[in-house]
Structure 1
Amino acid sequence: MPPQLGKILVLLGLSLVLLGAFLWLGGGRLLGWFGHLPGDIRVERPGFRFYAPIVSMLLVSLLLSALLWLWRRWGG
């Protein structure tokens, strides 16, 4: 196992903790639009709820792809 993997996992864990703390302490209000975009499917009926955040996940995929592309181009 490469020694860089441990550093990457620690940084990823710290990032998740910081993101969780941000959302828990009220930062989620800034992202209230996320998950309610046009194209996100929501069906609610008595005793049944279905939610498919299609456009929101496409947006996340696009953002992560752009970040990884930038990282590969300039950092890695």
Structure 2
Amino acid sequence: MARWLIIAGIILIAVGVLMYFAPWLFNWFGRLPGDIRIESERSRIYVPIVSMIILSIVLSVIVSFFRR
């Protein structure tokens, strides 16, 4: 379990560094068709449905790859 937590931490740090130094790589995330965005003068509501579905599929594939 400790090894998986270390690997997950390293991956999160790598993604964080990429998002900090190369934000253009992640501009598409959250702006896909199907993501709900409602903006008015006083409030903003954002529901990234399609982005979370894609993220879930990618993470499922990665986890199943490592389990085998």
- TM class by smaller structure: 0.7 to 0.9
Residues 31-46 of structure 1 mapped to structure 2, 5 A cutoff:
31-46=26-41
Counterpart-to-counterpart distance in 1, 2:62 and 2:43? 37
2:37 maps to amino acid: R
Residues 1-76 of structure 1 mapped to structure 2, 5 A cutoff:
5-25=1-21, 27-73=22-68
Question: How far 1:71 moved relative to its partner?
Answer: 2.1
Computed over aligned residues only, the root mean square deviation of the Cα atoms, in angstroms, reads 1.2
Q: Percent identity?
A: 40
Alignment TM-score, normalising by the size of structure 1: 0.80
Task: Give the greater-gyration-radius structure (CA).
Answer: 1
Q: How many residues get paired?
A: 68
Alignment TM-score, normalising by the size of structure 2: 0.88
Structure 2 unaligned segments of length 5 or more: list them: none
Structure 1 unaligned segments of length 5 or more: list them: none
